[in-house]
Structure 1
Amino acid sequence: MIDFWLAAGLLLLIALSFLLIPVLRGRRAQREEDRTALNVALYQERVAELQAQREEGVLTAEQFETGRAEAARELLADTEGVAPGRVSSLGKAIPLLAAVLVPVLGLSLYLHFGSSDKVELTREFSQPPQSLEEMVARLERAAAAQPDSAEGLYFLGRAYMAQNRPADAARVFERAANLAGRQPELLGQWAQAQYFADDKKWSDKIQALTDEALKADPKEVTSLGLLGIAAFEDQRFEQAIGYWQRLMTELPEGDASRAALEGGIAKAREQLQASGGKVETAPVAKAMASIKVNVDLADAVKASALPGDSVFIFARAVSGPPAPLAVKRVTVADLPITVELGDVDAMMPQLKLSNFPEVQLMARISRAGQPTAGEWVGRSQPLSSSTRELQQLTIDSPDK
């Protein structure tokens, strides 16, 4: 922050110079004018002496004219180079007053309309926080400086949840959801915070939030997990199992939450069986499909493609809808690159690699950033969606 104020002070001095320099020049001009007036007075006094000597007969007429001419030459020599007098309508007081008011007014306007708080926040966020409390304090200041930032409010809400402050988190998530057009993820976070703020008591408000979130996105994970918790606490074990199984299908392999969910499902089944309920055998989940592909450019394409051109790598069904089943986007500068296309990259829930036996891999260069049309393309032969071998794909043909 010190460097900011040093720069501002330097700019202020430059601005003041435009006000003070004319005042200083005015003083110099005044001194020059005073000297000129003195020289004129001396000239007049010298001419008067010469006139008196002529009248007394000491000087002849010729000597008188010679002396007066000499005095005139001395006067001209003394006043040579002096700028003509300037008339100032401002005087000295107004520029000096302006020199005082300009920095005061400028500082006042900046403190009222400026962004010194944002400059300070930028400096703070450039350094890692030393504690959770410090991070929360920074996020609170950021939310105050940018009250319309849904992203900043989201992170502040998550930080409040980490501090076990669900009531504050619910209030912040509500603001974020309304700012961001009630996105499903924010609605789920809001519902979860409200649930814990209400001492784990289910309410119509929480039900409405989870319903709205799942209507917009049936795979919204926070809402699914929350509904499962609420059902388990209310001893609706069969519903809890259903929600948690739906959540399991959305989590990638290796996710740390899967072990906790599996334990919750097993406990719910035990409770359901102990209460005399019928425990249904969980359906065998279809294995998630995933294909690794290495993408590179042909030599002819390397001479034409630009480093910033977009490259879309995708898989589509050989027999099925033309929409891509999985997409990754990189640039020409990233090539060669190995990417993994899988069910987690599905554009829509019903369009997954695992739902189609045969797929075709494609990579397209598009200077305009359009995935459906471009300059160059590479295509693979049809292959099984369950293949585990690394595929090689070369962009080598004009896109027609």
Structure 2
Amino acid sequence: MIDFWLAAGLLLLVALSFLLIPVLRSRRAQLEEDRTALNVALYQERVAELQTQQEEGVLDTAQMDTGRAEAARELLADTEGVAAPRVTRLGKAAPLLAAILVPVLGLGLYLHFGASDKVELTREFSQAPKSMEEMTQRLERAVAAQPDSAEALYFLGRTYMTQDRPAEAAKIFERTVNLAGRQPELLGQWAQALYFADDKKWSDKIQALTDEALKADPKEVTSLGLLGIAAFESERYQQAIDYWNRLLDQLPADDKSRIALQGGITRATEKLVASGGRVAEAPATKVAALLKVRVDLAADLKAKVQPGDSVFIFARATSGPPAPLAVKRLTVADLPATVELGDADAMMPQLKLSNFPEVQLVARISRAGQPTAGEWIGRSQPLPSSTTAPQNLTIDSPDK
């Protein structure tokens, strides 16, 4: 912040110089005018003295003319280089008054319309906080300075939850949803904050939020975990197990929360068995799709392509997003070749082969190395994504 005020002060001095320089110049001009008037008075006094000496007979006419010329030369020498006086209508008071009012007015406008608070926040966030309380205070100031920042609101809500302040977090998440839209993750966080703010009492509003979140994203982790907790608290142990198993499937293998989640599933299982119930078998896990494709080039095209041309082999859904579900890249020199396309080759986690029942295989040659446009192409007929038999694909048509 000190750097900012130093820079502002330097700019202020530069601005004031444009106002004060005319005042200093006018004072200099006044001094020059005073010196010129003095020289003229001395010249007139010298001429009068010469006239007196001529009248007394001390000087003749020739000497008188010589003395007058000498006095005139001295006057010219003294006044040479003096600029003509400038005419100004401002006077001295107006520039001085402006020099005082401009910085005062500028400072007032900046304090009213400026962003000194945001400059200070930027400086603070560049340094690591010393405590959670300090981090919370920074986020609160950031929200006050930028009330329309959904990101700042979201992080403040998460911070309130870690500090066991769910009621405040619920209000913050509601504001975040109003700004950023009804995104599944935000709805889940809002529902969770409402649940703990109301002393773990389920409500129609919480149910509606979790239903909306899971409808938009069946894998939304906060809603799955919350529904599992609510089911466990109300002794609906089988539902708790089901929700937590769904959540467990979404967590990475190295996620530390898996241990606690697995412990919750174990406790729910024990209570279900102790109450005389029986744990329902989990539905069969979906097998990851894996397609084997042999790609070759039509004989009449071999003379028209170059060994270094790119070959893109991909599978796309016959009914769904146009983006490829799995992609492999080779060159013409590699053909013929056999490749495998599976869930591991997905360009995006939500776009896997196993998520779509029917796909089409495509192989494209692109001299420019662009997967979306090329010179030659080969397409298969639609086939189930669960197909295990090897497939043959020939590149034989112009890419239009």
Q: What's the TM-score, normalizing by structure 1? A: 0.76
User: What's 1:373 paired with?
Assistant: 372
**Structure 1's 2 and 205: CA in aligned 2 closer, same or farther, altered over 3 A?**
same
The one-character-per-residue Cα deviations of 1:145-173 (angstroms, maximum 9, x if unpaired) are 21111011111111111111111211111
1:78 paired residue number: 78
3-state SS in 1 of match to 2:315 = strand
Aligned residue in 1 for 2:239: 239
2:286 and 2:354 in contact (8 A); partners too? no
| Counterpart Cα distance in 1 of 2:169 and 2:365 | 44
Secondary structure class of the residue paired with 1:345: coil
- Partners of 1:275 and 1:343 in 2: how far apart? 46
Name the counterpart of 2:207.
207
- Given that 2:121 and 2:142 are in contact with CA atoms closer than 8 Å, whether structure 1 keeps it comes out as yes
**Over residues 151-204 of structure 1, what are the superposed CA-to-partner deviations in whole Å (9 max), with x where a residue is unaligned?**
111111111111111112111111111100121211110111111111111122
Corresponding residue number in structure 2 for 1:105: 105
Counterpart mapping for 1:17-32 below 5 A: 17-32=17-32
Q: Which amino acid aligns with 1:316?
A: A
Structure 2 letter corresponding to 1:120: E
Deviations 1:274-312 (A, max 9, x none): 333443112232355699xxxxxx99579xxxxxxxxxx
Calculate percent identity across the aligned residue pairs. 66
Evaluate the alpha carbon distance shift between residue 321 and residue 175 of structure 1 in structure 2; reply closer, same or farther with a 3 A threshold: closer
Aligned pairs for 1:129-278 (under 5 A) are: 129-278=129-278
The answer to whether the aligner puts 1:67 opposite 2:67 as a matched pair is yes
Q: Which has the larger displacement, 234-243 or 17-26?
A: 234-243
In the alignment, does 2:117 pair up with 1:117?
Answer: yes
Cα distance in structure 2, aligned partners of 1:41 and 1:109: 53
Aligned-residue offset at 1:47: 1.8
What per-residue deviation string (whole Å, max 9, x for no partner) do you get for residues 3-55 of structure 1?
22222222222112212222212211111111000001111112222233333
Alpha carbons 2:319, 2:358 under 8 Å: kept: no
Query: How do residues 337-356 of structure 1 correspond to structure 2 at under 5 angstroms?
Result: 341-342=345-346, 345-347=349-351, 351-353=352-354
Given the superposition, is the C-alpha separation of residues 81 and 173 from structure 1 closer, same or farther in structure 2, using an over 3 Å criterion? same
Contact 1:325 1:352 in 2 (8 A): no
Q: Distance in 1 between matches of 2:33 and 2:85?
A: 7
The 1-side partners of 2:76 and 2:156 are apart by 80
Instruction: Please tell me the residue identity of whatever aligns with 2:282.
Output: A
* In structure 2, C-alpha distance between the alignment counterparts of 1:162 and 1:255, rounded to whole Å: 18
Distance 2:138 2:290 in 1: 41
Q: CA deviation at 1:356?
A: 6.5
Q: 1:213 to 1:137 in 2, by over 3 A?
A: same
Stretch moving more, 174-183 or 5-14:
5-14
Give SS of 2:122's match.
Answer: helix
Question: Contact conserved, 2:315 with 2:362, CA < 8 A, in 1?
Answer: yes
**Of 3-12 and 23-32, the range deviating more from structure 2:** 3-12
d(CA) in 2 for partners of 1:275 and 1:364?
Answer: 64
TM-score relative to the length of structure 2: 0.76
Q: Work out whether 1:43 is the aligned partner of 2:80.
A: no
Any gaps of 5 or more consecutive residues in structure 1? 292-297, 303-312, 329-338, 387-397
Of 163-172 and 31-40, deviating more is 163-172
Does the 8 A contact of 1:373 with 1:399 survive in 2? no
Note the residue ranges of structure 2 that are not aligned, 5 or more in a row. 292-305, 328-342, 387-397
| SS across alignment from 2:345 | strand
- RMSD of aligned residue pairs (Cα, Å): 3.8
In structure 1, C-alpha distance between the alignment counterparts of 2:290 and 2:75, rounded to whole Å: 102
- Kindly indicate whether the alpha-carbon contact (under 8 Å) linking 1:39 and 1:75 is maintained by their aligned counterparts in 2: yes
User: How many equivalent residue pairs?
Assistant: 358
Q: How does 1:302-381 map to 2 (within 5 A)?
A: 316-317=315-316, 323-324=322-323, 326=325, 341-342=345-346, 345-347=349-351, 351-353=352-354, 373-374=372-373
Residues 121, 138 of structure 1: 8 Å contact kept: yes
Q: Give the whole-Å Cα distance in 2 for the aligned partners of 1:123 and 1:299.
A: 56
Give 3-state SS (helix, strand or coil) of 1:196's partner: helix
Asked if 1 retains the 8 angstrom alpha-carbon contact of 2:157 and 2:172, the reply is: yes
Deviation at 1:224, TM superposition (A): 1.7
- Alignment check: 8 A CA contact 1:315 1:361 kept: yes
Partner of 1:128: 128
Q: Secondary structure at the match of 1:316?
A: strand
Instruction: Determine which structure has more spread, i.e. the larger CA radius of gyration.
Output: 2
Q: 1:123–1:205: structure 2 CA closer, same or farther, 3 Å change rule?
A: same
